[in-house]
Chain A
Amino acid sequence: MAHLEIAGLRKSHGAVQVIAGVDLAVASGEFFTLLGPSGCGKTTTLRCIAGFIAPNDGDIRVDGASVLNAPPEKRGFGVVFQNYALFPHLTVAENVGYGLKTRRVPWEEARRRVGEALAMVQLFGLKDRLPRELSGGQQQRVALARAIVIRPRLLLLDEPLANLDAKLRHELRWLIRDVQRAQGTTAIYVTHDHAEAMALSDRIAVMRNGQIAQVGTPREIYQRPLERYVASFTGETNTLEARVVAEAGPGRYRVAVAGSELEATGPAGLTPGTVRHLLARPESLSLAPEGAAGVSVRLDAVVYVGAALRCEVVTACKQRVVLQVPVQRAYTPGETLSLAIDPAQAWLMAPGEAA
């Protein structure tokens, strides 16, 4: 149980700024995720926290005290690596007990705690195996047990599920969450998978080019992204150019999109005439027969994907929009329809590059 603050963190390799000023505050017991594409500096940030690399500038404080002068072995953080990093010559139990041995924990207590940790990751029966005799998923469970058995102040996870297949990824995702909750450990999780980040995190920091683009709960990040980059990195997105016509209430606006006027939510203080990007997630859109309220569109393609029909429509301004609609009604490509957007989910973002 510890809280973490990062202030003004910078790290460069030669001329390349890998971390270009990162500020973060993670509360005690929080599950916090650094989300971003490869090369955005998320892993470098995690490695700075772990103490494997030293930042050029800035400070990292845990429970108010700077850890920058402490080597990794003095920080007391548990680390889970993408490639598991199990000690190949030690058995499962020896791997898990390693951190207790270095701490000179008495043998009896160490044995009990190793047993508990292995039980927590559902691997007790395999304690005498060598890592190479385990599957990837089992190896990562051992790595997780090894990191939590020392009761770390922070649990740092660097893309722990990236090397596993989809089914195991799901299983282990919940295991990580359960273990973190049960222990009440503050966790910093690095991933490029937005679904993973959404499912696990209390809060997410979306990173771009060594900086934080936005910090928020999964819901905020997904529904209220500040810019197009964040939106496109957190799930499937449609963006439509929109011009503010008038303010309809606090944070509610009438906007002009592709020749039609509709209602959307946005940050406070947008003046009429401002051009913004309207975020419309596929599930916030619906199609109605021609003539209904909404934006007039032409249906370009329909694909049956089982649970829904996936439609691609084109607006009068040649903007392409993807949405999913219920399978009940039949659609024919080429027909003209009316595209409606749920005003509560239509969100005005700052213009900018997509991911």
Chain B
Amino acid sequence: MKRPLRYLSGAVLALLYAFLLMPLVVVALASFSGGEVLRFPPEGFSFKWYARFFANESFLSALMLSLRLALVSAVTVSVLATMAALFYRRLPYRWREPFRILVIMPLLLPEILTAIGLLFFLYRVGLGSSAFGLQIGHIVVTLPFAFLSVAAALQQIDSSLEEASASLGAGTFETFRRIVWPLIRPGIFTGALFAFIVSFDMFTMSFLLKPIGGNTLPLAVFDYLKYDFDPMAAAAATLSVGFALLVVLLVEKTVGLRRAF
């Protein structure tokens, strides 16, 4: 590429990113405001909205519920996605694509449709407006992310590796433990990470299935903004981004994202 063209494309890209990231930066900066109204530029600097956030009972319980939902989703979905991906690979060729589409269906359908369907279903089986029902909803929506990640990792494993392992005396389980598991582990962690972040930020599903008296963090922020327009909402939103970043960093430190992706 010619040099001026390269500079131009770089500038366009920078502009695009700036446009996408600006709202985030504005919200984050606004959360450190010393004033009483959510506005930009913020008036003064203080941590008071963070202090108020952590003193706010309903925000705190919403944060805890969101963390619990995300954590349970990430763990459950890792196990389910791994099993589904292993099964998927063993399927006869003509059944593979139908199975894959079935598993990633919640990703293809509008979340609101899945949520309405689940709402009816959960009420019918007696789990309406329960924390457990909401957890199921989160698992349904996050499963495709984990499945795609694990299936991609599995695809990297040539079947001759398993054959070699078998010929060297390892049974199915030992081959999984010594060969398949170490090789797909980064994929599983990445899938769990996706599931955590998607669950933590999920709005539509939570909105329809939320348990009585329970609120997730995105819902709590939304509720709060309906009546109050002060920087505490910005603080809550910033914290939610912070948590997502924290999880990414954690995965980066433990397995390394470059290996995971």
CA distance A102 to B173 in the complex (A): 12
Count contacts between A and B, CB distance < 8 Å: 62
Asked if residues A99 and B160 are in contact (CB atoms below 8 Å), the reply is: no
Tell whether A226 is near chain B: CB-to-CB under 8 Å.
no
Chain A 27-66: CB-based contact to B (< 8 A → 1; otherwise 0)? 0000000000000000000000011100000000000000
Q: For B158, list chain A residues within 8 Å (CB).
A: 83, 85
Q: Give the contacting residue for A79; candidates B167, B170, B182; CB below 8 A.
A: B167
B154 smallest CB distance to A (angstroms) = 14
Asked if residues A150 and B169 are in contact (CB atoms below 8 Å), the reply is: yes
Q: For B168, list chain A residues within 8 Å (CB).
A: 73, 78, 98-99, 102, 146, 150
Tell whether B179 is near chain A: CB-to-CB under 8 Å.
yes
Residues of chain A at interface, number, CB under 8 A? 28
CA distance A78 to B167 in the complex (A): 6
CA distance A286 to B171 in the complex (A): 60
Tell whether B165 is near chain A: CB-to-CB under 8 Å.
yes
Asked if residues B183 and A102 are in contact (CB atoms below 8 Å), the reply is: no
Tell whether A77 is near chain B: CB-to-CB under 8 Å.
yes
**A83-B158, A85-B161 given as contacts; is B167 within 8 A of A77 (CB)?**
yes
Which residues of A123-158 are within 8 A (CB) of B?
Answer: 143, 146-147, 150, 156
Residues of chain B at interface, number, CB under 8 A? 17
Tell whether B11 is near chain A: CB-to-CB under 8 Å.
no
Which residues of B161-185 are within 8 A (CB) of A?
Answer: 161, 163-171, 174, 178-179, 182-183
Q: Among B165, B166, B167, B183, find the residue whose CB has the most chain A CB atoms closer than 10 A.
A: B167
Tell whether A76 is near chain B: CB-to-CB under 8 Å.
yes
Chain A 59-94: CB-based contact to B (< 8 A → 1; otherwise 0)? 000000000000111011111010101111100000
B214 smallest CB distance to A (angstroms) = 43
B132 smallest CB distance to A (angstroms) = 38
Asked if residues B169 and A102 are in contact (CB atoms below 8 Å), the reply is: yes
Q: Can you list 22 residue pairs at the A/B interface with Cβ under 8 Å?
A: A50-B163, A51-B167, A73-B166, A73-B168, A73-B170, A78-B167, A78-B168, A79-B163, A79-B167, A81-B160, A85-B160, A85-B161, A85-B164, A87-B164, A89-B182, A89-B183, A98-B178, A99-B168, A101-B178, A102-B169, A146-B168, A150-B169
A residues adjacent to B (C-beta < 8 A): 50-52, 71-73, 75-79, 81, 83, 85-89, 98-99, 101-103, 143, 146-147, 150, 156
B residues adjacent to A (C-beta < 8 A): 158, 160-161, 163-171, 174, 178-179, 182-183
